[in-house]
């Protein structure tokens, strides 16, 4: 069994959050030092308190000899001690110096293994189903919007025959089939490329992972998840010229199909955090992941699943609602889409915002809310 990711429930006083760590991010360090992957902003925590590792398919906890004790289940670890982790284990830090009180705890909620990907896992109707295709047997896999494809993706951004994966002589190759919106391998748009072990393929709305001749992917019912790990954005203070953290160590997980509100006073960093998530102003440190895939150096591959509505609208007032949406559809939807498919997409967008009957209305004549 090869562990692919670990899910931790972090509890600090009254605050709780879940963080997801893929094996590709291991080793992951925790501590007070600014170079740690997960920064703990407490005085009674070492610069590098402990590290999570994934070796030979097993997640492990290692105390890093910081001079401050690390609690593991019902005992303290020795300096440099390494122990295996399993679901239900608790890592604790007694930051107030009281041996009976673990002020920060990390509970292992789940360890997901690649060996489980072959089975269908749907805990509820909205949960993604995990699937796999053994390319050593399939040999050729066609991906696209067309009904004749092996993997059918119901998105207007996907071309009818978007890409294919061919397995020959022990090697797999991904080939783009002239798609409109591109096929990406490890963040780079490709026409044809050999698939390395651990390679990540992105097409609009879908991520595939290749390992050992097998292609793994989530079949989504609704939406994708977003994970932020120790996100930081540093700028120069206009008055002093000193570095200023406007986003400071933010970690959270947004579940698929969720509606989340960022609340804070003026200058609290709401817009800055949002631009870090969308990539319009990348973060200085930390990770932004979609469905557990780190977007660092891989941002272009996720343009199709991220939308951003600016505070000031940028629509053309001299177009009608229908004309404006049709122009956008022609730019974003696959070029092989028929006129009927374009009109259907426009009608769906109009219905989604309850503007039926306003198709011929000029943008200039819409209310602020309607815009």
pLDDT for the residue 163: 96
Which residue did the predictor score with more confidence, 222 or 270?
270
Model confidence pLDDT, tens digit, residues 177-186 = 999 888 988 8
Q: What is the DSSP string of 38-101?
A: EE---TTS-TT-EEEEEETTEEEEEE---SS--EETTEEPPTT-EEE--TT-EEEE-TTS-TT-
User: Phi, psi (5° rounding) for residue 368?
Assistant: -60, -40
Which residue did the predictor score with more confidence, 72 or 113?
72
Q: Flag whether pLDDT at 118 surpasses 70.
A: no
- The Cα 51–Cα 196 span in angstroms is 28
- The Cα 274–Cα 234 span in angstroms is 14
pLDDT for the residue 115: 38
Q: Are 199 and 186 in contact (CB under 8 A)?
A: yes
Query: Which residues are CB-contacts of 352 (< 8 A; sequence separation ≥ 6)?
Result: none
pLDDT for the residue 75: 84
Entry field: residues in the chain:
371
Average pLDDT over the chain, rounded to an integer: 80
Read off the pLDDT band of 113 (50, 70, 90): low
3-state helix, strand, coil in the chain (%, to 5): 15, 40, 45
Read off the pLDDT band of 10 (50, 70, 90): confident
Look up residue 195 and give its DSSP letter. P
- The Cα 344–Cα 294 span in angstroms is 33
Helix (H) or strand (E) run with residue 192 in it: strand 192-194
- The Cα 253–Cα 17 span in angstroms is 7
pLDDT for the residue 122: 32
pLDDT for the residue 86: 87
Q: Domains, the chain, ranges and CATH?
A: 3-113 (2.60.200.20), 117-219 (2.60.200.20), 226-290 (no CATH), 321-365 (no CATH)
Q: What is the mean pLDDT of residues 308-330?
A: 83
Q: Are 180 and 161 in contact (CB under 8 A)?
A: no
Q: Are 109 and 18 in contact (CB under 8 A)?
A: yes
Nearest to 10 by CA among 45, 36, 40, 32: 40
- The Cα 199–Cα 269 span in angstroms is 35
Nearest to 103 by CA among 56, 161, 41, 181: 41
Q: For 305-349, give the secondary structure using H, E and C.
A: HCCCCCCCCCCCCCCEHHHHHHHHHHHHCCCCCCHHHHHHHHHHH
Nearest to 158 by CA among 345, 346, 352: 345
Report residue 248 as tokens.
């400071």
Model confidence pLDDT, tens digit, residues 27-37 = 889 988 878 88
- The Cα 62–Cα 79 span in angstroms is 9
Question: Helix crossing, 321-332 with 339-352: angle to 10°?
Answer: 120
Lowest mean pLDDT across 140-144, 161-165, 173-177, 360-364: 360-364
pLDDT for the residue 21: 79
Q: What is the mean pLDDT of residues 316-337?
A: 86
- The Cα 127–Cα 93 span in angstroms is 33
pLDDT for the residue 291: 67
- pLDDT above 90 covers a percentage of the chain that reads 14
- The Cα 345–Cα 314 span in angstroms is 21
């Amino acid at each position: 069994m090869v562990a692919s990711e670990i899910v931790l429930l972090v509890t600090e006083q009254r605050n709780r959050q879940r963080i997801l760590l893929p094996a590709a991010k291991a080793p992951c360090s925790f501590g007070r030092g600014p170079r740690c992957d997960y920064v703990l902003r407490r005085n009674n925590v070492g610069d590098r308190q402990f590290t999570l590792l994934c070796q030979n398919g097993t997640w492990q906890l290692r105390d890093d000899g910081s001079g401050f004790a690390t609690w593991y289940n019902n005992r303290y670890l020795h300096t440099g001690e390494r122990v295996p982790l399993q679901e239900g284990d608790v890592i604790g830090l007694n930051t107030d110096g009281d041996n009976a009180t673990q002020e920060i705890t990390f509970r292992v909620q789940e360890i997901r293994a690649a060996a489980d990907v072959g089975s269908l896992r749907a805990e509820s109707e909205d949960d993604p189903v995990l699937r796999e295709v053994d390319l050593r047997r399939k040999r050729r896999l066609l991906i696209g919007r067309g009904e004749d494809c092996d993997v059918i993706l119901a998105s207007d951004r996907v071309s009818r025959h978007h890409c294919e994966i061919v397995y020959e002589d022990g090697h797999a190759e991904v080939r783009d089939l002239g798609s409109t919106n591109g096929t990406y391998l490890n963040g780079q748009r490709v026409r044809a490329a050999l698939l390395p072990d651990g390679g990540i393929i992105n097409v609009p709305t879908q991520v595939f992972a290749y390992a050992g001749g097998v292609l793994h992917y989530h079949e989504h019912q609704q939406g994708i998840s977003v994970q932020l790990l120790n996100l930081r954005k540093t700028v120069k203070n206009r008055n002093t010229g000193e570095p200023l953290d406007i986003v400071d160590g933010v970690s959270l997980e947004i579940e698929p199909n969720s509606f989340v509100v960022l609340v804070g006073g003026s200058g609290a960093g709401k817009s800055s955090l949002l631009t870090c998530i969308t990539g319009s102003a990348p973060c200085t440190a930390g990770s932004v992941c979609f469905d557990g895939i780190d977007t660092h150096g891989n941002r272009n591959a996720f343009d199709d699943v991220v939308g951003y509505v600016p505070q000031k609208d940028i629509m053309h007032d001299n177009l009608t609602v229908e004309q404006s949406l049709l122009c956008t559809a022609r730019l974003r939807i696959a070029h092989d889409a028929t006129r009927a498919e374009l009109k259907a997409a426009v009608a769906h967008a109009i219905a989604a915002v309850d503007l039926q009957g306003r198709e011929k209305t000029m943008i200039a004549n819409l209310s602020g809310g309607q815009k």
